[in-house]
Amino acid sequence: MRRFIIAMLVLSSCTHTQKSAVEEAQSVKCTTVRYANFEQRDFAALTTADDAVNLAFKISGRVENIPVAKGQRVRRGELLAELDRRDVELQMKAAKATYTEAQQRLERGRRLIEHNAISKQEVEALESSAEQAKSAYDNSVDLLKECRIVAPFDGIIERTYVDAYERVSSGQTIVRLVNPISTTVGFTAPENLISVLDKPSTRFEVKFDAFPNVKFSAKIKSFARTSSDALGFPVSLRLVDIDNTKYNISPGMTCIAEIIIPDNKSHTAIVPLTAIYAPISGQDYVWIVNKESRVELRKVKIGKLNGSNSVEILEGVDEGEIIVCAGAYKLHENQLVRIIK
């Protein structure tokens, strides 16, 4: 019995030792080294309104009513502001009376000339007076229409600048209307990119903070070829093929504009920034995964950023090698790893 117990203990000890000897693999994410055939530049950008307008009255007067407020959605043709119409109505009535009187004088003159009671020159003068009176009357009718400001398109009131019963002058901004749907992205580009912006091979993509996992295609809309403030050149992109029912993109949203420039002559590897292992020693390294699924630490020479999440490696890696791109600081030399796809 005693021998049986001793044998069981020895067997159990051996089994435990064998289990302890099994090395546990560290889970890591990896990527395959590829030479880049493009250069990517990222810029902080902001959406701007496709349609935006400051609306004003063409005549002076006292504001009678402003039935809208900041942030309110309005439809095309909806009333936004109205002036007190009484002065203009009085002016229109006076102009109408003058026009009616001029017409009557002209008709009387035409009857008199049939009997040679007045000269042809007098009739022509009456015709000129009637024409002037008609023009003044038509102008007063148009002024009456100018007492109202209506929305030229569907949009949102961004701001109102005056209050009811306030006296305003002609041309003074009353309300600002913007289109709530934006497809325009603006940013500032450096001088060395101006020459490639309008090339057919240059591509543009936009990433929004609100939609982090989605990239939107874009095309160049416009850009300035001169810079007056030495801060860069303003560039505008137009988003294409946007599903507005799924993605609500409005003016003022922050985003990243990506400029992708083809470069078929490049022999530079591009890897994620997270693949760079930079210990306190100050050197830059990457972890290479060999055929035995073990990692080897290799010194590399890094170049410039490629986009906001990648970096160039000028020396140290070859195309096709597998490197760790997540979990680099948890590894040690010759450690067994398990690649997470």
pLDDT for res 4? 46
108 assigned to some structural domain: yes
Average pLDDT of the chain, as a whole number: 85
pLDDT per position as a tens digit, 60-107? 989 999 999 998 999 999 999 999 988 888 888 888 898 888 888 888
pLDDT for res 267? 67
CATH number at residue 160: 2.40.50.100
134 assigned to some structural domain: yes
pLDDT for res 2? 52
| Helices 120-145 + 86-113 axis angle, to 10 | 160
Percent of the chain scoring above 90 in pLDDT: 31
C-alpha gyration radius of the chain: 39
**Last residue of a domain, which of 204, 231, 262?**
262
Going by C-beta distance under 8 Å and a sequence separation of 6 or more, which residues neighbour residue 310? 40, 270, 271, 272, 273
Going by C-beta distance under 8 Å and a sequence separation of 6 or more, which residues neighbour residue 335? 26, 294, 295
1 assigned to some structural domain: no
pLDDT for res 265? 62
Same domain, 72 and 107: no
Return the residue matching tokens 């790893």: 337
Q: Which domain covers residue 326, as residue numbers?
A: 22-36+267-340
Give this prediction's pTM. 0.57
pLDDT for res 17? 45
Alpha carbons 164 and 150: distance in angstroms, whole number: 16
12 assigned to some structural domain: no
Structure tokens at 85: 């119409």
3 assigned to some structural domain: no
pLDDT for res 318? 86
pLDDT for res 74? 93
121 assigned to some structural domain: yes
Pairing of strands 337-340, 26-32: parallel
**Last residue of a domain, which of 262, 288, 304?**
262
17 assigned to some structural domain: no
pLDDT per position as a tens digit, 210-254? 898 899 999 999 988 877 666 788 999 999 988 878 888 988 899
CATH number at residue 114: 1.10.287.470
Same domain, 172 and 70: yes
Question: Left (φ > 0), alpha (ψ -120 to 50) or beta: where does 77 sit?
Answer: left
Same domain, 136 and 69: no
Pairing of strands 79-83, 148-150: antiparallel
Q: Report the sign of the C-alpha dihedral through residues 11, 16, 19, 21, in that order.
A: negative
Tell me how far CA of residue 65 lies from CA of 80, 92, 173, 178, 303, in angstroms. Answer: 8, 21, 15, 21, 63
Tell me how far CA of residue 27 lies from CA of 19, 82, 332, in angstroms. Answer: 19, 69, 13
* pLDDT above 50 (res 19): no
Same domain, 67 and 216: no
Tell me how far CA of residue 175 lies from CA of 101, 156, 170, 171, in angstroms. Answer: 41, 10, 14, 12
Same domain, 102 and 45: no
pLDDT per position as a tens digit, 174-190? 999 998 888 999 999 98
Same domain, 283 and 252: no
pLDDT for res 16? 47
pLDDT per position as a tens digit, 141-169? 888 888 899 999 999 999 999 998 999 99
Same domain, 172 and 255: no
Same domain, 288 and 141: no
59 assigned to some structural domain: yes
Same domain, 289 and 310: yes
Same domain, 226 and 278: no
Enter the DSSP assignment of 241: S
In which band, very low, low, confident or very high, does the pLDDT at 21 lie, cut at 50, 70 and 90?
low
Enter the DSSP assignment of 77: T
Structure tokens at 29: 């994410």
Enter the DSSP assignment of 194: G
Top pLDDT among 199 and 142 is at 199
The total domain count for the chain is 4
Phi, psi of 69 (to 5 degrees): -135, 165
Same domain, 278 and 334: yes
Same domain, 171 and 57: yes
